[in-house]
Structure 1
């Protein structure tokens, strides 16, 4: 049989493992929420279509991000992108759904946009799976410090992910209220 000390040590280890297993989702959720709070704010920058029919097309975007009001993590992005004199409204909703993320770009795959079908936050980046009819892909948004964010959208062609859009955004600090020192 096991000694009393051994049983107490094993029971303690089991209790610690159980407590940490229960605590992990909460801390992961808090990390996800902290990531999306960092993404909140006004972002502006240039992008380019790097593959496909419109390869070489350059555009500029102005986006405003707000954390979702629901209990879980996520973000609502609204704004526009401009190609020459043409201005296209942009919107995205990414929100926690169980252990993954769901949402939509524009009005979703049922309209002129795409559905967000999966997602994961890992450190300073979020990766979401995107879908529109037979088109599958991913969007990666990576924070580079507090003032830069790089976004890459790739689509799946056969067994490879091919980058099609690159966007580099800078945080616009003009919209942030500042106080004065008396």
Structure 2
């Protein structure tokens, strides 16, 4: 199978990781954040589309696996692939707490072919991450619709406006194994 790097994917997993924090004590916020990342851990699959820019209209599909925390920190480690037609692109991201915010990288970070995650905030059912590569600034919002579906939007800043460029609808992949009792 051919592998080709698609620059449009540079913002995708920046998912699979700031709304201003609510006025809650730091301990409550830390517990809320940890609970959110544990809730989004697991296997996710779904379609996406590039909705603006040079590759507008390009449809793709992703298979991603998230694990909560790295080295015991609150956050998320993401691995998987996204596919356009016959071409597949590996996806990876690491996001971990950094004080009252989050830091991390998508692929190999902005110094390579990826993006840096420069900030982040968790709310009850979503996370908003600030993303950066050179002069490109943007945000990724991942919002849980329910326990088994999540919407991801990646936007970039153009002048004073945030313009959505990528949208995804991911569904949790559940085991099909039936469990029963033996009598």
- Structure 1 gaps, min length 5: 1-20
Give 1:178 shift.
Answer: 6.2
Alignment partner, residue 181 of structure 1: 181
> 1 CA distance for matches of 2:168 and 2:104?
20
- Structure 2 gaps, min length 5: 1-22
> 2 CA distance for matches of 1:24 and 1:41?
28
Residues 63 and 82 in structure 2, CA contact (< 8 A), matched pair in contact too: yes
Greater RCO, CA 8 A, separation 6+: 2
Alignment partner, residue 114 of structure 1: 115
> 2 CA distance for matches of 1:129 and 1:82?
24
Give 1:73 shift.
Answer: 1.3
- Counterparts of 1:122-141 in structure 2, within 5 Å, are 122-141=123-142
Aligned length, in residue pairs: 160
- Counterparts of 1:1-182 in structure 2, within 5 Å, are 24-174=25-175, 179-182=179-182
Higher helix share: 1
Q: Which has the larger radius of gyration?
A: 1
TM-score for the superposition, normalised by structure 1 = 0.84
Residues 149 and 172 in structure 2, CA contact (< 8 A), matched pair in contact too: yes
Moved over 2 A (4+): 69-72, 177-182
> 3-state DSSP class of the match of 2:25?
helix
- Aligned Cα RMSD in Å? 1.6
